[in-house]
Amino acid sequence: MISPPWQKKNPLWGASNTAYARWLPADYEDGFSVPKGWNQSKTYNGFSLPLVRQVSHEILHTRNENISLDSSYTHMLVEWGQWIDHDMDLTPQSASTVSFTDGADCSHGCINRNPCFPIQIPAGDFRLGGGTMKCMPFIRSSPACGSGQSSFLLGQLQPREQLNSLTSFVDGSMIYGSTASLARKLRNFTQALGLLAVNQEFSDGGLPLLPFAEKKSPNPCALTRDSCLANASDVPCFVAGDSWSNEHLGIQVLHTVFLRESNRIATTLHQLNPQWSGEILYQETRKVIGAYLQIINWRDYVPKILGPEATEAYLPPYSGYDESVDPRISNVFATAAFRFAHVTINPFLSRLDENFEENPSHPSISLHQSFFSPWRIIEEGGIDPILRGEIFTLAKLQTATQMMPEELTEKLFHPKKALSLDLAALNLQRGRDHGLLGYNSWRRFCGLPEAHTFSDLQHILNSSYLAHKLLKLYGTPENIDVWIGAIAEPLLPSARVGELLACLLGRQFQALRDGDRFWWENEGVFTHRQREELAKVTLFRILCDNTHLHHLPADVFSTSHFPSDFVSCKSSQIPRVDLTAWREDSADTPCGPVPLVEGAHYVQCKASVFFECWPGYIREGPSSITCNVEDREWSTVLPVCRDIDECEHSQENPCPSPQICVNIPGSFKCACQGSLVPSQDGTTCIGRLG
């Protein structure tokens, strides 16, 4: 039995700033909070855990020029994975960046002292050259309230849990923000049109760009430019709903495209429904964008990753919202499983001209040169060259001997090698910080055979090379970190993950779909006709409608040949979503046309109509009217929207007797005179009791 919406059994499932779900118990060194590897002398199953930097350097590190390319999929598939991940999970690190015990800065020390958990650099690592860098900074994730040390205050000890600062659901939070304050900051309130704010200083050939964040000194988005250039402008970071929106050019491009698409939809809805307020336009637009993201992700992206067999097993046809399904993001998904795509990132970012060839004015660059560099979009040709590169350049193919290019293991986020981070080491350290159980435990969770011997591991990985490497470092399969074990597995047929990742990803995407009561297919979220139109959405059409591109492959995730596989943006071959399905007909009601209220917007909802006064007006009377279907009549009492300056300029009192009009700064109200007080419904004044 489905509970009514106001009586949800688990109202906090999927809410922001709540703990990740634990599909298996946490595994800490002390069983409570301390991560494994904290005490390097401690052994597990008779062996010490290897340093995460050692695992990265000896197993994952691959020279940029030695990678293999994916013959089936483009780099847009990789970009989409990160884009949608930023809608589902974000783990905040500890608010403190200094040791709780002695105040030492976590970015400088090499000793484990909460929240500092630095990544030690092993002997023989070239990073030790010169003796200036003995560790990479790492700060532990913030614990959820009531877990770890804070559980002492509640009198019931609970192992340390980590927070998801976003809503779990795919709802466009990376576009619109996950807090009320950020959401308001991203909006354009100069007109009541439901628009997002755009850049006021620059455009992309007439198309809008993301607005700038507040300028900071030093500018974190000038890391990749030559500050010695005399004409180097100090372009600040962009601002969007995701705090990582400036991470690299590929993600900045998708943010820009969906900013434009949101404003395009809002503008169209305003033309269709001029009676809607800016707030209704904004909310309805976000609802449509959320549906777009869900459809493209589950229909076009996930099956390519899981492969046909796992997709059929974990994502059967949708059968409706199930309130018993927990839609929270699991800790293993956020911290390990969905980080599989890190080994599919191409180390080069291509920028192509209109013929999909190298752009002579702004040539391709190494990936690390695109980190935190919005200035490249403004000064080096806009987003179109980057988009052409993303949909034409191949993704990296994950193989046993070519896991992660040095762009990510040696040059992450910093242009100077001595200061760079290592993405593989960060992933492994984060898994230990979060208390994730090892590789075998998760295979057992998924009902898969475990590896107990070299022969078992060799068989599962289909690689004696990887089995030797892993056992040399870990000693036993029982100690292997889940992330490295999962990405080491051979790919399933027509998939881009192995059997363990297919299980973990499949379970999560199933829970996110079936446990979301606002899923686009759920009855009552959209009308039947609206669902029919939404099903037509394609990333092809979104890119065509919001860029200067004229031809694209129909499936921008799959490899193509130019120009034979490309389709004109003007072609009717790829349909458009017809937004007239959202038009409200004010005359199409059992009670006849909706009564007009001067100075008010309105929106219809089944048999009711809700009014909202224009900015600068204040409402008196009810906020809604209802159609009595039996009598075919509207409620007799209509609201009145009065200009806030009306009482100042009116010759007569506009308030109902015996109230008087009172001016207050920026507003006005009808107040009771003398000893009179408002009646319970606020429509008149009555004498004081007693």
Q: How far apart are CA 6 and CA 531, in angstroms?
A: 25
User: CB-hemisphere CA count at 13 Å for 497?
Assistant: 31
Query: How far, in Å, CA of 434 to CA of 163, rounded?
Result: 10
Cα 405 from Cα 538, distance rounded (Å): 31
DSSP 308-369: HHHHHHH-PSP----TTS--PPBHHHHHTGGGGGGGG--SEE--B-TTSSB-SSS--EEGGG
CA angle (119, 428, 173) in 5-degree steps: 110
57, 75, 86, 255: the active-site residue: 86
Would you state the structure tokens that stand for residue 441, as one six-digit string? 């435990």
Nearest alpha-carbon partner for 265 in 521, 606, 581, 601:
581
Antiparallel, parallel or unpaired: β 404-405 and 61-62: parallel
DSSP string, 663-679: EETTEEEEEE-TT-EE-
Burial status of residue 133 (CB atoms within 10 A of its CB: 0-12, 13-18, 19 or more): middle
Rounded to whole angstroms, the Cα distance separating 529 from 144 reads 43
Q: How far is CA 119 from the centre of its chain?
A: 27
Question: What's the rounded Cα separation, in Å, for the pair 242 and 176?
Answer: 8
Contacts of 533 (CB under 8 A, 6+ apart): 577, 578, 579, 581
- What is the C-alpha separation between 654 and 640, in angstroms, rounded? 11
- How many Å separate Cα 81 from the centre of its chain? 10
**For residues 171 and 291, what is the distance between their CA atoms, to the nearest angstrom?**
8
449 φψ region: left (φ > 0), alpha (ψ -120 to 50), beta (else): beta
* 332 C-beta neighbours (distance < 10 Å), count: 27
Answer whether 121's CB lies under 8 Å from 134's CB.
yes
Q: Is 649 part of the annotated catalytic residue set? A: no
Distance of alpha carbon 448 from alpha carbon 615, whole angstroms = 61
**3-state percent breakdown (helix, strand, coil) of the chain, nearest 5:** 35, 15, 50
By annotation, the residues acting in catalysis are: 86
